[in-house]
Chains A and B, each alone.
Chain A
Amino acid sequence: MLDGVRVLELAACADAAPAAAYCARTLADLGADVIKIEPPEGDPLRGTPPFVDGVPGPDRGLTWIALNANKRGVVLDRSSRDGERRFRALVERSDAVITADPSLDRSRLEAWNERAIVSIVTPFGASGPLAAARASDLEVTAASGSLWLAGEPGEAPVRTTLPQAWSWTGMYAAAGTLLALLARERIGTGQTVDTSGQASMATVHPPACVFWDVMREEHVRLGAHLLGRSIVGARFRNVWPCADGHVAFAIQGGPIGRHTMRELVSWMRERGVVAPRLDAVDWDRFDNRTLTQDEVDALEAEVGTFLRTLTKREFFAGVVARNMLGYPASAAPDVYADEQLRAREFWQRVPVPAAGCELPFPGGFATFDGERPPIRRPPPRLGEHDAEIFAEIEARVR
């Protein structure tokens, strides 16, 4: 899709460095020629755990591996004359430069190549009162409102254990960079694209924003329960223990939910589970909005008893066969086993020789004309492409 587009990613010791890597990886997946410039000591991201087999090493970090496939790598010491000359030569031929380094001298890059887009990712934004404030995934999530909305009531809010903030930031930085590439066709020059982690994660919960804006009603965290299904304050459970983990399911009537509930009741009957309260409900007339919490609790007790007898796999097979709403709360092995993803040839096995393994990567995020953009190369070893990239630069200078 982006054949012929040349992108530089500048590795940096910066809070949002994973977002820059994510943005560049996204453009690389779409076919852009992405060169990652690392300092002689390597990208600090190489040191992020966990590592393959728990053994640290510059090519063994799984975050490093996930964020840097499809890129070529070059080492430049930008404080040396040769490094500076090569850096300039690379900027001169590039369409976009991506970095998380807020101290990068953007005016110098613009002087070298006015058509280059400079895409900068930071926790809060490249300018403004918090331009210099530091934040990791946890603090970005806190500042975005997302953290406030997750966790048990009365306990501290909780973040997703796998960091999310930099994926959101990198994804939106990729979108902003592409917009600037399209704008260049109209205005003839590049520009600065300033993507904020806080703003990226503030896009993740629009209904809570709308409720405050229009109703002055503050949405809050409710543990495993859904908000907004009731006008009398009853809460409906959306995550349930099952025999070997958890499943996502919610009691719901009306046109959307009644088929699911009828199927659940007949499934329970087939399994010999007695559920007098569920049996008594007319699911056409069932109205989530007006049920009291006691009534919800009574129904949920019967549902919960049944769900505890099922494994995640049994539950998944059942909801698919019966066309019910609901899914297991998958762990990594369940995701790899999913027949839908296999049928769509989602996974791509990629040899990662530097880490001594071959890994099944999540494939491209979409198919384009029926083709899933491939992972063409594993993440680069430090300086792996120095010789070929230096030769490309020299050929151009001559």
Chain B
Amino acid sequence: MSGRPLERVRVIEFGWAAAGPLIGKHLANAGAEVIHVESASTLDPFRSTYPPFKENVPGPDRAAMFAFYNDGKRGITLNLKHPRAAEVALRLIATADVVIESFPAGTLARRGLGVAAMRAAKPDLIVLSSCNQGQTGPHAQHPGYGSQLTALAGFTELLGEPERTPVILYGPYIDYIAVGYGVIAVLAALARRARTGEGCVIDLSQYEAGLQFMAPALLEYAASGTVPTRAGNRDLVAVPHGVYPAKGDDRWVALSVWDDEEWTRLRDAMGDPAWARDAALANASGRRGREAEIDACIAEWTRERTREEIVAALRARGLRTAAVEMVSELFDDPQLRHRGFWRRVPHPVLGEITAMSAPYVLSATPVRLERAGPVLGADNDYVYGTLLEISPSEYRSLEAEGLFA
């Protein structure tokens, strides 16, 4: 018997942009029925503001970002500011296993959808709240961008050349860390519910989730008083360790040498040039003092060769190396392709888009990617009609009141 791990799990999702919806996407790919609840009048910025749009013409159902971040889900519209919205939402929650919400702390409670109300509707409910800095504390209400929260957590300080202004990590880096932890939190709560029958209320601060990735640097400061900072592409062990220009415009290759024996293999790959035969470079401490000089010499060699030639020569000798892949190249990457990482999925307006699978491959119960994110209100009939048994005439009158706007 096979199937998907989360078949028969229903997830109701409130939230927009990246941090909440990507959690639901991973659960949907693993078989959960994820119902994304959104307003048709206050649109998800991924539907209204963020390009790209089909043919560059904005429109909520033409937005590729929304379609990408919400693949595999059902979608309904519900205006949470409408006086009857909470009652309808709670009827839906009563049929569900999990609620994921990623609004600023307290938003849903003000709409009559606090944790107590939700658990009254479904006592063994699992509720995951994900926001910038958590549901409590003096900064719980402070608005923030993921890209800037990434700086607050210390990542920015660690990226770039020493003594120069740091560079940024692309996008809201820390949000994506919180996505992985959000998935873990929900799965752990489902495992506990299977054992004990209890639900769970989870408070996920994106800041605190991100700091998990900073642990060694934080502990280094606490233990030794050293303040870790950015060191370009240098490493504490490997030398050389860097990114070198290859033949072509803006083409780069990464390589690293982790011991003296690997150094002799790198020399061999480069044809053992005279500069590399210097006995003082045979051990790591000798190389450590002359890294800039070594980097310049290696670059002389790499610059004359394509990324593919360099990578092939080094991999043939068991060395660690990789081309710096441009984002466009990821879609044709043979290894990602082997894993089925990208899948073309249908969308009623965009036609087809490429969806992203999970980083894990489960041998017996693989994830499935079946369709792009829903168009606005795609599943109103199914959810309101079939699940909640609202009659067509009642639906029309509620619609006229603006409940589904």
Contact = CB atoms under 8 A, between A and B. Distances in A.
Contact of A215 (B52, B173, B183, B322): B52
B57 interface: no
A36 B22 CA distance: 32
B114 interface: no
Contacts of B166: 224, 239, 246, 329
B323 A224 contact: no
A346 to B, nearest CB: 6
Nearest to A245: B157
Interface string B31-70: 0000000000000000000111010000000001100110
Interface string B1-35: 11111110000000000100010001000100000
Contacts of B3: 183, 186-187
Interface in B317-339: 318-331, 333-336, 338-339
Tell me the interface secondary structure of chain B in the complex.
mixed
Contacts of A306: none
A68 B140 CA distance: 31
Contact of B220 (A50, A143, A207): A50
A219 to B, nearest CB: 6
Contacts of B110: none
A200 B359 contact: yes
15 contacts: A50-B236, A128-B334, A142-B254, A149-B327, A151-B167, A157-B324, A171-B181, A205-B171, A207-B50, A212-B328, A224-B166, A329-B156, A340-B138, A343-B137, A367-B203
Q: Which interface residue of B52, B133, B321, B360 has the most chain A CB atoms within 10 A? A: B360
A198 B211 contact: no
B130 to A, nearest CB: 9
Contacts of B341: 199, 202
Contacts of B150: 248
A366 B211 CA distance: 11
A191 B233 contact: no
B327 A248 contact: no
B191 to A, nearest CB: 6
B232 interface: yes
A207 to B, nearest CB: 6
A187 B361 CA distance: 16
Interface residues of A, number: 152
Interface size class of B (residues with CB under 8 A): 35 or more
B154 interface: yes
B269 interface: no
Interface stretch (A83-91, A268-276, A357-365): A357-365
Interface stretch (A58-66, A74-82, A295-303, A388-396): A58-66
Query: Shortest 6 CB-CB distances between A and B: which pairs?
Result: A176-B360, A128-B338, A332-B221, A248-B151, A183-B5, A139-B322
A359 B245 CA distance: 42
B223 A53 contact: yes
A227 to B, nearest CB: 8
Contacts of A136: 235, 238, 241, 256, 258, 320
B274 interface: no
Interface stretch (A97-105, A159-167, A277-285): A159-167
Contacts of B238: 136, 138
B143 A335 contact: no
Contacts of A227: 170
Contacts of B142: 319-320, 323
Given A178-B188, A344-B208, A363-B208, A145 B330 contact: yes
Interface string A105-122: 000000000000000000
Contacts of A133: 315, 322
Q: Which interface residue of B208, B326, B356 has the most chain A CB atoms within 10 A? A: B208
B169 A340 contact: no
B213 A167 contact: yes
A162 B217 contact: yes
A214 B359 contact: no
A374 B350 CA distance: 47
B325 to A, nearest CB: 5
A339 to B, nearest CB: 6
B168 A150 contact: yes
Interface string B346-369: 000010011011111111110000
B327 A219 contact: yes
B275 interface: no
Interface stretch (B87-95, B192-200, B388-396): B192-200
Contacts of A363: 208
Contacts of A180: 5, 362, 365
Interface string B123-154: 00000000001101111101111011111111
A50 B161 contact: no
A30 B320 contact: no
A241 to B, nearest CB: 6
Contacts of A360: 218, 222
A332 B224 contact: no
A328 B144 CA distance: 12
A188 B1 CA distance: 9
A128 B338 CA distance: 6
Contacts of B364: 183, 187, 189, 191
A361 to B, nearest CB: 7
Contacts of B168: 150, 222-226, 238-239, 248
Contact of B139 (A172, A179, A250, A340): A340
Contacts of A333: 221, 227
A198 B335 contact: yes
B324 A238 contact: no
A195 B367 CA distance: 13
A62 B216 CA distance: 6
B285 interface: no
Nearest to B192: A1
A142 B229 CA distance: 21
Contacts of A152: 160, 167
A356 B228 CA distance: 21
B187 A335 contact: no
Contacts of A174: 184
B187 A182 contact: yes
Q: Which interface residue of A215, A323, A330 has the most chain B CB atoms within 10 A? A: A330
Contacts of A370: 201, 203
A147 B319 contact: no
Contacts of A70: none
B339 to A, nearest CB: 5
B243 A330 contact: no
A21 to B, nearest CB: 11
Contacts of A249: 148
B405 interface: no
A330 B210 CA distance: 13
B219 A65 contact: yes
B169 A150 contact: yes
A185 B192 CA distance: 13
B281 interface: no
Contacts of B336: 198-199, 202
A192 interface: yes
Contacts of B404: none
A344 B205 contact: yes
B180 A178 contact: no
Interface in A186-237: 186-189, 191-196, 198-200, 202-219, 221-228
A143 B325 CA distance: 5
